[in-house]
Structures are given as structure tokens and as C-alpha cells.
């Protein structure tokens, strides 16, 4: 008498598929910095290195991150990047603002404008 474990095999297969779907769905649409606090992420590409926004790392009261969409091939689709450079502000893992370059792939937004926006977000917490 041998036992038939087919039902358990199918059940385990479904659990594995659900687990993979859960892991893959949490990666897209979320902050590349994690889920806590304020984070400013600059997306750019190697071919546009000359237009990299150097002052992003000088922003205060937030974490900063740089992502090269040519190195991380899935980043452009995952974060809906259509022009580089793009600066995205995340609050608690959710996008709250996006600043995109002009048609010449140069950022027209100034550091002061983004810093003021960050300061306003921080003031809302009080």
C-alpha cells in the first residue's frame, strides 16, 4: 500500500508560486531606499553622466541614493523612469514627488526647491 501524495505536491507548488508572487510584488513601486523616513533618489544613466545632479547628496534631513538605470536594467521600468536624470522623493516608502529633466536631459529644478519641499514634509509631521 503506497500513499498518494499528489494533493500535497500540488498544494506545495501553489504555496511556492504565491511566495514568489509576494516577493516580486513588494519590489516594484516601493522606495529603493527602504520604507522608513524621507529618501531622495536620483535616477540617471551612464551615457548622461555629464548631467548628473551633484548636489543631491548635499540635501539635509533625508537619505539619498543614486541609481544608474543602465547598470540596474529593471530600475527604469520598476520606478517608471522615462527621462534622466529624474529625482524622486519618497516618504515612508511611497513616492510623494518627482522632478524630471528637460528635453536636453538637464535638471532645471534647483537644490533649494527640493530642500524646501523636504522641509515642508518634515514640518507636516509636527
Distance, CA of 106 to CA of 5 (rounded, Å) = 61
Distance, CA of 79 to CA of 100 (rounded, Å) = 13
C-alpha cell at 21: 508572487
Distance, CA of 40 to CA of 113 (rounded, Å) = 13
Grid cell 503506497 is found at: 2
Residue 126: beta bridge partners?
A: none
Class assignment of domain 1-126?
alpha beta
CB atoms within 10 A of CB 102: 11
| pLDDT per position as a tens digit, 9-54 | 767 666 667 666 655 544 445 678 877 789 999 999 999 999 999 9
| pLDDT per position as a tens digit, 47-101 | 999 999 999 999 999 999 999 999 998 999 999 999 999 999 999 999 999 999 9
CA angle centred on 97, ends 94 and 101, rounded to 5°? 130
Q: Which pTM was predicted?
A: 0.74
Distance, CA of 93 to CA of 35 (rounded, Å) = 4
Q: Is 105 left (phi over 0), alpha (psi -120 to 50) or beta?
A: left
Amino acid at each position: 500500500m503506497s500513499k498518494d501524495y499528489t494533493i500535497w505536491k500540488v498544494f506545495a507548488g501553489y504555496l511556492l508560486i504565491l511566495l514568489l508572487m509576494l516577493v516580486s510584488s513588494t519590489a516594484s513601486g516601493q522606495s529603493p531606499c527602504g520604507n522608513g523616513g524621507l529618501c531622495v533618489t536620483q535616477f540617471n544613466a551612464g551615457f548622461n553622466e555629464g548631467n548628473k545632479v551633484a548636489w543631491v547628496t548635499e540635501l539635509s534631513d533625508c537619505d539619498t541614493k543614486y541609481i544608474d538605470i543602465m547598470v540596474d536594467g529593471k530600475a527604469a521600468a520598476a520606478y517608471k523612469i522615462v527621462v534622466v536624470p529624474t529625482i524622486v522623493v519618497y516618504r515612508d516608502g511611497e513616492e510623494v514627488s518627482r522632478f524630471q529633466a528637460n528635453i536636453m536631459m538637464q535638471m532645471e529644478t534647483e537644490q533649494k526647491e527640493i530642500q524646501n519641499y523636504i522641509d515642508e514634509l518634515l514640518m507636516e509631521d509636527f
